[in-house]
Structure 1
């Protein structure tokens, strides 16, 4: 339900000309409602005017677009409309140019308000193409170009103004921007080789431009070590909270140039290095030195709560890497890391286990010697674990039966995935009988039961067999009905069971930031 105030706001913004005339007379408390109404109804001209006259020091998307007493729609959880975001950027540019021009004329100097525009809460569009929304990469480029454009425009205007002031006591240009005249854009930046130069230029001019780009979460893909370092050197340590470097294929030796920069960011709470070609199984002296450099960097990061080493071959080195962390981890992703029993045993008994909220062990072999330590991990993290993924871990009915008692203790679990494991329909039903007893469980991603494939499925089946082999749809439909019956009898129709990889699960409850 929307409040009367919100309905009135929608009525006001329905006519742009009238809204523009009325903005100076509307109480400042109504501006956030007008902003949300304009964003929802895609009133881009109104949105641009509202931003241009924003009466507060901070314009925070997460605060304004979330569910509130005036509008129960949680717009911040939706992918942002491209036109609306462009209108906001234009509104900020209009605001700054007006302020710059007025403040060059002392008689027109006004008390300014806007200092920070916070876009960090916006959703990404992932891999889905949508002409009406704008993803993180496109947002990054648009914001970088806006910073560059306004820097160039302000310098041209300042140059013209200084020429007019010659002989009248006009101050010469010094190349720097008065800090009181700057607006900071806080955003999550996604940088690739294609956008690197534009984003680097925008970050470089931050100290001299009226519009300064600040990065809270950095995601960089396929960048060289040199380019990664050049970006890290330009980021504000007080603002940055997350670093994600992926698909760079640098290995330990290549990343050794990057490791020393991590401790610079005292507020860093999340570090992700998936698909970085880290392999500790056959170490050269140079690689060992690089690994120790990483360990040293980790020991100097006091606030890290989240680590992702997906597809890094860290066999036998987990203790050495994680024991130096000063605070317990809340999120740990070790997918396809070739873990050994010593790694799993350390993790089960480490200071991290009781605090883990997200754990991804996908691709590690839980069918043999890792099974016992895995059960211990579940037991020791049973009061904290929210998200658990053991996709493609070679789990069969016997292993499933071994850890179901430990899984049953995970009272906070909301998401569980055992996708692409060779489990039978009987094993799957046993899993669901346990799942319905978990009070807050929402999602179960399970494999297609092995007895629902056509005859001739190789045993034990490989991942490719489980994905590509022909399925007996009649048998699968019968199992689906049986699973649904279990949910109905337990009055747990709120649990979603699916054989599809589930990418829409929100991890906001982790509250890592």
Structure 2
């Protein structure tokens, strides 16, 4: 369960994907030809002794190139050597490594998603631990500001940093008391021995900026104390949070944590799986309004049922309208039925990312979205796990309104049938910017999917589609075997690729088709 939650964190509103970039890591990454400088740096960081020798020989500016290759190749010892003699006061991780949240691959490939999360964890884990160890060992580093934001930080590392923040605060208090004692004894008539404070951290201020992932009470308590003392002027080690992911904590602990965070720096909040109710949201929302630089808010998988509570609906509308930078929202699995207009209409800015999976959306909600000021700016829209079989007209209007901006559209498990989807196929031609579509877990026939692919493949920007296997693949009789079903699936994919290739010709890259089994549909009730 914890592993599932961990990877699910990086597939939503708080961590945006660069949809037009190539995959950043792994076998999908098409690496350009390295420069001579990159080749030499890669060779040097292979061995930490060679790195140590090179640090004192090469110009200081080349240490940046060495750090880039050390991070890329996960050379922990070389990273330690470079940090221990870092020549600048700041080190910003995003300037040294490529953005790992790129391409459409994480949307449909969980293995690739786990790969990029693990790579991000390697970066932050190594840098955080190495930096503090160099500081405690009094290494001659000039580094005073470490920025690891934009990459996942393991909870154990967050706890490690929070405890050291408290340690630095306690040492600062001890030093202040020792200095007061030494000053006082100078005026006493009898001679007394002066005291000496042996601190493990330097006198200059150190700042670590990161994304916090909190699930346990122990980490929550330690982080709250660390953030509290980070605001004190005498603190020597300070934590700065850019993105907060608080899971399985509950409203009281979340509210306490939000009060400790610097209002100017926080840009993303994810409060998934906290069992938040309407009343608890009302208690918490005054704190949410204080984060004026917030760009992403995820309240998914709670029990904020707005369709039965006009008061809370109004409070949420006021909260969203009070956040001028907010462009990414996830309200999935909260009941919104017929209330989407009330929630979003007061926002001045247009949303770029909106996820409303499992919200009980109705035709009224989709009609509002199609005619709202958000439609013209939406780049990613997920309305999966809603019953859309009676919303053909409003969906068509939505495709027409959002066609100039929409890049990702997901409607997985939405009870769409052949008749509705054939009606919508014509409206697909409006989606000029579409890159990816997900209509998996819907019960379609082979003819419907083939007709859809012929139109879909003609779109100018599209690269990937996720679809279900057609229901004919699962037709059973007394002689049907598993091998025969597998052969039907293979032939189905071959036929679809043939139809798509015929439309696209040789001028475009081949359309990527990701087909999935109908796992959420009772196969015994599928009719041919």
Whether TM-score is above 0.5 comes out as yes
Q: Report the counterpart of residue 190 of structure 2 in structure 1.
A: none
Q: Report the counterpart of residue 457 of structure 2 in structure 1.
A: 436
- CA offset digits 1:59-101 (Å, max 9, x no partner): 111111128xxxxxxxx967337666444223322454477x9
Q: Is the 8 A contact 1:487 1:493 kept in 2?
A: no
Q: Report the counterpart of residue 506 of structure 1 in structure 2.
A: none
Q: Report the counterpart of residue 206 of structure 1 in structure 2.
A: 230
Instruction: Identify which of 472, 478, 487 aligns with 1:474.
Output: 487
Query: Aligned partners of 1:245, 1:199: CA distance in 2, in Å?
Result: 16
Instruction: Identify which of 83, 90, 109 aligns with 1:58.
Output: 90
> Equivalences for 1:33-432 in 2 at 5 Å?
33-66=65-98, 79-80=118-119, 85-97=124-136, 113-122=142-151, 124=152, 136-152=154-170, 181-194=204-217, 195-208=219-232, 209-283=235-309, 288-368=310-390, 370-432=391-453
Q: Is the 8 A contact 2:277 2:304 kept in 1?
A: yes
Q: Is the 8 A contact 1:183 1:210 kept in 2?
A: yes
Query: Aligned partners of 1:56, 1:218: CA distance in 2, in Å?
Result: 28
1:17 matches 2:72 = no
Deviation at 1:12, TM superposition (A): 3.0
C-alpha change, 1:85 and 1:261, in structure 2 (3 Å) is: closer
Q: Is the 8 A contact 1:57 1:115 kept in 2?
A: yes
SS in 2 for 1:258: helix
- CA offset digits 1:226-248 (Å, max 9, x no partner): 11011111111211111111111
Q: Is the 8 A contact 1:303 1:326 kept in 2?
A: no
Query: Aligned partners of 1:228, 1:25: CA distance in 2, in Å?
Result: 50
Q: Is the 8 A contact 2:362 2:388 kept in 1?
A: no
Query: Aligned partners of 2:436, 2:330: CA distance in 1, in Å?
Result: 18
Question: What's the C-alpha RMSD, in Å, of the aligned pairs?
Answer: 3.2
C-alpha change, 1:419 and 1:213, in structure 2 (3 Å) is: same
Query: Aligned partners of 2:512, 2:230: CA distance in 1, in Å?
Result: 47
C-alpha change, 1:148 and 1:470, in structure 2 (3 Å) is: farther
C-alpha change, 1:172 and 1:251, in structure 2 (3 Å) is: farther
Query: Aligned partners of 1:166, 1:44: CA distance in 2, in Å?
Result: 47
Q: Report the counterpart of residue 463 of structure 1 in structure 2.
A: none
- CA offset digits 1:384-409 (Å, max 9, x no partner): 00110011111111111111121222
C-alpha change, 1:171 and 1:384, in structure 2 (3 Å) is: farther
Query: Aligned partners of 1:153, 1:391: CA distance in 2, in Å?
Result: 55
Tell me, which stretches of 5 or more residues in structure 1 are unaligned? 68-75, 103-111, 125-134, 457-468, 502-513
What TM-score, normalized by structure 2, do the two folds share?
0.77
Query: Aligned partners of 1:171, 1:308: CA distance in 2, in Å?
Result: 56
Deviation at 1:442, TM superposition (A): 2.1
Query: Aligned partners of 1:410, 1:260: CA distance in 2, in Å?
Result: 39
Q: Is the 8 A contact 2:146 2:207 kept in 1?
A: yes
Deviation at 1:113, TM superposition (A): 4.8
- CA offset digits 1:270-307 (Å, max 9, x no partner): 11110111213434xxxx43332222222211111011
What TM-score, normalized by structure 1, do the two folds share?
0.79
Q: Is the 8 A contact 1:44 1:84 kept in 2?
A: no
Deviation at 1:203, TM superposition (A): 1.8
Q: Which moved more, 1:225-234 or 1:25-34?
A: 25-34
SS in 1 for 2:420: helix
Query: Aligned partners of 1:153, 1:38: CA distance in 2, in Å?
Result: 33
Deviation at 1:150, TM superposition (A): 4.5
Q: Is the 8 A contact 2:178 2:196 kept in 1?
A: no
Query: Aligned partners of 1:323, 1:96: CA distance in 2, in Å?
Result: 51
C-alpha change, 1:79 and 1:321, in structure 2 (3 Å) is: same
Q: Is the 8 A contact 2:209 2:241 kept in 1?
A: yes
Q: Report the counterpart of residue 510 of structure 1 in structure 2.
A: none
Q: Is the 8 A contact 2:125 2:157 kept in 1?
A: no
Q: Which moved more, 1:38-47 or 1:136-145?
A: 136-145
Tell me, which stretches of 5 or more residues in structure 2 are unaligned? 1-32, 100-114, 188-193, 518-528
C-alpha change, 1:398 and 1:8, in structure 2 (3 Å) is: same
Query: Aligned partners of 1:17, 1:158: CA distance in 2, in Å?
Result: 40
- CA offset digits 1:409-457 (Å, max 9, x no partner): 211111100011111111111111122112221221101211211338x
Q: Which moved more, 1:262-271 or 1:141-150?
A: 141-150
**Relative contact order, higher structure (CA 8 A, sep 6+):** 2
Query: Aligned partners of 2:376, 2:122: CA distance in 1, in Å?
Result: 45
Q: Is the 8 A contact 1:310 1:333 kept in 2?
A: yes
Query: Aligned partners of 2:236, 2:306: CA distance in 1, in Å?
Result: 47
